[in-house]
C-alpha cells in the first residue's frame, strides 16, 4: 500500500502523477537534499539517518564509485582517487588554479589551458562536473527512495540546485551540466543566500534588506539581499574562501598539542592517524561547547600515551576570537559595497553549521545590533529553501507561495568604438529580460560591424569579460551615422544569453547564442565587482579619453574625405593649413589627455569652418543649377 502525503485543498494528484520535486544544496564540504512533504519542507536522510552527505567522491579499484562518509574516511589513504571540494573547481580551467602545489590531485595539463580542467584518477579522467554529478546521483537516488518515485508514485520532475551568489556563467553552467549528467532536470539554479531567505519565509515578508551570514565547513560567504515584490536582488557579496568551521577545529587541535608539550618533554611529531584522531576529538569538543561550559577531551595516541584535557567554553572563545573577527571584515565590506547602514538591515539569517557556536552568534548580534534568525537548522536551511522553491516551480503551490525571480549577476553590454562598454542589460535585472538599443556606423561606406558581447561592471572592454564576438555583414554603404542597427540582448529564464543585430533599412540580421564562457575565476568576479566600485573615477577618465579619441578619429576621417572630394574649392594654402591641423590632431590623439584631444578637435573644427561653408555653397548651387525659382519654393 502506497504511503500518501497531504495535498493543498483541491490539488490531490491522480495516482502515479504526483509532482515530485527536490531541492539540493550542493556544498563545498557537505551536500543535502530536501523536499516538501505534506506542505512541510523536510531534509531527506540516508538509511543511516544522516542528513549531510560529505561532498567527497572516491573512485574504487573495482570501478565503483563511493560517495559521502565512506569516501571521506579514506581521504588520507587514497588522496589521488578521493576528490573533495570539487565545487571549488567547477567551471574552472587549469590556469585558474593558483595553488596547485597544495592540492593532492593530479591535474591533467591540456594543450589549451583555457579548457576545463581534468583530474587523473584510476577511473580515468574526471572533470569537476562529473565528480559533482556523482554526488548529485547519490542524492537523487536517496530522494527517489524516500519519495517512492521508483515505485511508480510519479516521477521526479526536477530539482532546484543552489549555487553561491557570486558564481559566474561558467560555474552556473557547469553546475547545470553536472545535474544533467546525473539525470536530473534542473528546474532552476537558486542563489544560496536567496534559498536561506526563502526557507525563513522572508519572501512572504514585506519588503526589506536582509543579511545572509554563511559560515560553512571551509568557506565563508556573506550576502546582502534586497527583497522587492518577490524579487531578491543581490546587493553585495563578500567572503573568505579559506575560512570555516574546520579552522575552529584546528585551533582546538593546536591547543591540545600545546597541552601535550607542556606535560612531557619527549614529544615526537604526530603520525597521520593521531592527527586525524585529535582533529575529530577537537571537532567533537567544539560541538559539545555549543551547549556546555566545558569539554573533556580524552583519547589514547598510537604510542600508548593518554591525553586527558579539559577545555572551557571561555578558553575556546579566546582561542577562536581572531577567527570570529575575521568574518566581520568581509561583512563590513559587503555593507559598505551595498551602501547600507546597520539600521537598514531588517534581518540576519545564519547559515552553516559553524554559526551554531555561541561566540559567532554573539559577534553577529553585537555587530548588527539585533538577534539573528536561528530557529531553522543552519546546516539545512539552504536545502529547505531550495525544496520550497522546487515545490512551487512544479505547481504544487498554495496561494501564498511566491515564485522568485532570478537576476543577472553582472551587467551585459557590448563594445563600442574606442574599447568602451555600452551597457545593455544592467546587473540585477530580473530574468527573463530583453533590451534593445540602436547603434550606427562609424565610417562612411562601412558595410560590416563587429559586435563584441561583454560581461562586467567596468567602463572599458579590457576590464570586462568578453563572452562572444560576431559580425553583421552586408550593411548597405551609407555615410557614417546613417545606418540604424538595432542590437537586442535577450536572457531567458535559465540565464542563457542570445544577442542579435539587425540593420533596420534592409532587414539583414546576425545572431549569436552566447555559450558559457569558461575561465573567469571567483576571485576575478568579486574583484571585477569590487574594482568597479573602487575605480569609478579612473573609469570615467578612461571613458572620456576613449570618447575624445573616437571623436578625433571621426572628424579626421570626415575632413580627409571632404578634402579629397572638394579640395579644389579652396586655395592650396587653405588646404595645407587644414592638413597641418589634421596631422597635429592625429599626433595628440595618441596622448592620454582627453582635454587636450578635445581642444585639438575644436581647433580642427574651427580650421575647417570656412571650407565647410564653401562646400555647402557648392553643393547648394549644384542642386539649384538649372532649376527655376518655382521649383525650389520651400
Partner 1 sequence: MAITLTQTAADRVEKFLANRGKGIGLRLGVKTTGCSGMAYTLEFVDELHDEDTTFESHGVKVIVDPKSLVYIDGTELDFSKEGLNEGFKFNNPNMKDECGCGESFTV
Is 262 one of the annotated active-site residues of the chain? no
Residues numbered 46 to 75 that lie near partner 1 (CB under 8 A) are 46-47
Looking at 70-78, 149-157, 324-332, 365-373, which segment touches partner 1 (CB under 8 A)? 149-157
What are the Cα distances from residue 113, in Å, to 93, 97, 124, 520, 529? 6, 11, 19, 13, 25
192 is an active site residue: yes
From the list 146-154, 460-468, 491-499, 596-604, the region that binds partner 1 by CB under 8 A is 146-154
Q: Which of 130, 168, 192, 539 is catalytic?
A: 192
Instruction: Give the residue among 374, 327, 371 at the shortest CA–CA distance from 346.
Output: 371
Q: Is 139 in the site for partner 1 (CB under 8 A)?
A: no
Rounded to an integer, what distance in angstroms lies between the CA atom of residue 316 and that of residue 359?
Answer: 9
Q: Which of residues 384-413 bind partner 1 (CB under 8 A)?
A: 398
DSSP string, 493-552: TT--EEEEEEETTT--EEEEEPPP-----HHHHHHHHHHHHHTHHHHHHHHHHHHHHHHH
Q: Considering the complex, what minimum distance in angstroms separates the CB of residue 24 from partner 1?
A: 16
CB of 184 to partner 1, least distance (A): 18
Q: Residue 11 Cβ, how far from partner 1 at the closest point, in Å?
A: 7
Query: In angstroms, what is the minimal distance from the CB of 7 to partner 1?
Result: 5
443 binds partner 1 (CB under 8 A): no
The active-site residue, picked from 46, 87, 286, 401, is 87
Distance CA 209, CA 376 (A): 19
**Residue count at the site for partner 1 (CB under 8 A)?**
32
Query: Binding to partner 1 by residue 375, rule CB under 8 A?
Result: no
Binding residue (CB under 8 A) for partner 1 from 115, 145, 486, 615: 145
Pick the binder of partner 1 from 104, 124, 152, 358 (CB under 8 A). Answer: 152
CB of 417 to partner 1, least distance (A): 58
**Could you tell me which stretch among 40-48, 71-79, 386-394, 424-432 binds partner 1 (CB under 8 A)?**
40-48
* Residue environment code for 368-400, b if the CB has 16+ CB neighbours within 10 A, otherwise e: beeebbeebebbbbbbbbbbbbbbbbbebbeee
Report the C-alpha gap between 261 and 255 in whole angstroms: 10
Selected catalytic residue, list 96, 169, 214, 249? 214
Of 153, 176, 458, 549, which one interacts with partner 1 (CB under 8 A)? 153
| Binding range to partner 1, per CB under 8 A, among 77-85, 98-106, 148-156, 246-254 | 148-156
**Do the bridges between strand 119-121 and strand 106-107 make them parallel or antiparallel, or are there none, so unpaired?**
antiparallel
Tally Cβ neighbours within 10 Å of residue 161: 29
Told to check if 32 binds partner 1 by CB under 8 A, we report no
Return d(Cα 295, Cα 280) in angstroms, integer. 13
Q: Is 274 a catalytic residue?
A: no
Enumerate residues 12-31 that contact partner 1 by CB under 8 A: 12, 14-16
The C-alpha atoms of residue 8 and residue 10 are separated, in whole angstroms, by 6
Nearest distance from residue 35's CB to partner 1, in Å? 11
The DSSP-derived string for 187-241 is EEEEEHHHHHHHHTTGGGS-SEEEEEEEE-SS-EEEEEEEEETTEEEEEEEEEET
- Nearest residue (CB) to partner 1, 8 versus 438: 8
Q: Distance of CA 632 to CAs 52, 318, 354, 627, Å? A: 86, 93, 85, 7
| 14 vs 634 by CB, closer to partner 1 | 14
H or E element in which residue 616 lies: helix 609-624
What are the residues whose beta carbons fall under 8 Å from the beta carbon of 289, sequence distance 6 or more? 295, 311, 313, 316, 357
Query: Which of 22, 147, 424, 472 touches partner 1 by CB under 8 A?
Result: 147
**Cα(424)–Cα(437) distance, integer angstroms:** 7
C-alpha distances out from residue 621 to 70, 608, 609, 615, Å: 92, 20, 18, 10
Q: Write down the least CB distance from residue 9 to partner 1, Å.
A: 5
The only residue of 6, 98, 111, 629 in contact with partner 1, by rule CB under 8 A: 6
| Closest distance to partner 1 from the beta carbon of 392 (Å) | 14
Which residues, at least 6 apart from 144, have a Cβ–Cβ distance to it below 8 Å?
150, 156
CA–CA separation, 166 and 615 (whole Å): 57
Q: Which is nearer to partner 1, 6 or 622 (CB)?
A: 6
Catalytic residue check, 87: yes
Among 38, 114, 273, 321, binds partner 1 (CB under 8 A): 38
Q: Which residues are catalytic?
A: 25, 87, 192, 214
Footprint on this chain of partner 1 (rule: CB under 8 A): 1-12, 14-16, 37-40, 44-47, 142, 145-148, 151-153, 398
Amino acid at each position: 500500500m502506497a504511503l500518501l502525503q497531504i495535498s493543498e485543498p483541491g490539488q490531490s494528484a491522480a495516482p502515479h502523477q504526483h509532482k515530485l520535486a527536490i531541492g539540493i544544496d550542493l556544498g563545498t564540504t557537505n551536500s543535502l537534499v530536501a523536499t516538501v512533504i505534506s506542505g512541510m519542507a523536510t531534509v531527506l536522510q540516508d538509511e543511516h539517518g544522516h542528513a549531510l552527505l560529505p561532498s567527497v567522491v572516491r573512485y574504487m579499484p573495482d570501478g565503483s564509485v563511493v560517495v559521502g562518509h565512506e569516501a571521506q574516511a579514506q581521504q588520507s589513504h587514497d588522496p589521488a582517487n578521493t576528490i573533495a571540494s570539487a565545487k571549488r573547481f567547477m567551471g574552472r580551467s587549469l590556469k585558474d588554479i593558483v595553488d596547485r602545489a597544495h592540492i593532492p590531485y593530479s591535474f591533467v595539463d591540456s594543450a589549451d589551458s583555457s579548457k576545463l580542467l581534468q583530474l587523473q584518477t584510476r577511473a580515468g579522467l574526471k572533470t569537476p562536473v562529473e565528480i559533482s554529478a556523482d554526488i548529485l546521483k547519490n542524492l537523487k537516488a536517496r530522494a527517489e527512495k524516500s519519495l517512492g518515485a521508483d515505485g511508480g508514485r510519479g516521477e521526479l520532475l526536477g530539482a532546484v540546485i543552489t549555487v553561491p551568489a557570486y558564481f559566474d556563467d561558467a560555474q552556473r553552467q557547469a553546475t547545470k551540466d553536472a545535474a544533467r549528467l546525473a539525470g536530473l532536470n534542473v528546474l532552476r539554479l537558486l542563489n544560496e543566500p536567496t534559498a536561506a531567505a526563502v526557507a525563513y519565509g522572508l519572501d512572504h515578508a514585506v519588503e526589506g534588506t536582509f543579511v545572509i551570514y554563511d559560515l560553512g565547513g571551509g568557506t565563508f560567504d556573506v550576502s546582502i539581499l534586497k527583497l522587492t515584490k518577490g524579487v531578491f536582488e543581490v546587493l553585495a557579496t563578500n567572503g573568505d574562501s579559506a575560512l570555516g568551521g574546520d579552522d575552529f577545529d584546528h585551533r582546538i587541535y593546536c591547543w591540545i598539542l600545546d597541552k601535550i608539550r607542556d606535560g612531557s618533554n619527549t614529544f615526537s611529531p604526530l603520525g597521520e592517524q593521531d592527527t586525524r584522531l585529535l582533529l575529530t576529538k577537537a571537532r567533537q569538543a567544539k560541538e559539545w561547547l555549543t551547549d556546555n561550559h566545558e569539554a573533556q577531551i580524552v583519547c589514547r595516541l598510537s604510542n600508548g600515551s593518554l591525553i586527558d584535557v579539559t577545555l572551557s567554553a571561555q578558553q575556546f572563545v579566546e582561542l577562536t576570537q581572531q577567527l570570529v573577527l575575521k568574518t566581520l571584515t568581509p561583512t563590513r565590506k559587503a555593507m559598505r559595497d551595498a551602501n547600507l547602514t546597520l539600521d537598514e538591515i531588517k534581518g540576519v539569517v545564519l547559515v552553516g553549521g559553524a554559526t551554531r557556536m555561541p561566540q559567532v552568534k554573539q559577534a553577529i548580534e553585537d555587530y548588527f545590533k539585533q538577534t539573528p534568525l536561528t530557529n531553522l537548522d543552519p546546516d539545512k536551511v539552504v536545502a529547505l529553501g531550495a525544496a520550497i522553491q522546487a515545490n512551487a516551480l512544479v505547481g504544487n503551490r498554495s496561494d501564498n507561495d511566491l515564485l522568485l525571480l532570478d537576476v543577472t549577476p553582472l551587467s551585459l553590454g557590448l563594445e563600442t568604438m574606442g574599447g568602451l562598454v555600452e551597457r545593455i542589460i544592467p546587473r540585477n535585472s530580473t530574468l527573463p529580460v530583453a533590451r534593445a538599443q540602436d547603434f550606427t556606423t562609424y565610417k562612411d561606406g562601412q558595410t560590416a560591424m563587429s559586435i563584441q558581447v561583454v560581461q562586467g561592471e567596468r567602463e572599458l572592454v579590457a576590464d570586462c569579460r568578453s563572452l562572444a564576438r560576431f559580425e553583421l555583414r552586408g550593411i548597405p554603404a551609407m555615410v557614417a551615422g546613417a545606418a540604424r542597427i538595432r542590437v537586442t540582448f535577450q536572457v531567458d529564464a535559465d540565464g542563457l544569453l542570445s544577442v542579435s543585430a539587425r540593420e533596420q533599412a534592409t532587414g539583414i540580421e546576425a545572431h549569436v547564442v552566447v555559450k558559457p564562457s569558461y575561465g573567469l575565476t571567483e576571485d576575478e568576479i568579486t574583484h571585477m565587482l569590487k574594482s568597479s566600485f573602487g575605480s569609478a573615477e579612473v573609469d570615467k577618465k578612461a571613458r572620456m579619453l576613449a570618447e575624445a579619441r573616437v571623436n578625433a578619429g571621426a572628424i579626421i576621417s570626415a575632413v580627409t574625405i571632404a578634402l579629397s572630394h572638394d579640395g579644389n574649392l579652396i586655395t592650396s594654402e587653405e588646404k595645407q593649413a587644414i592638413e597641418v591641423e589634421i596631422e597635429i590632431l592625429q599626433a595628440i590623439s595618441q596622448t592620454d589627455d582627453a582635454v587636450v584631444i578635445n581642444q585639438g578637435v575644436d581647433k580642427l573644427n574651427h580650421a575647417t569652418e570656412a571650407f565647410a561653408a564653401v562646400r555647402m555653397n557648392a553643393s547648394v548651387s549644384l542642386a539649384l543649377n538649372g532649376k527655376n525659382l518655382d521649383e525650389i519654393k520651400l
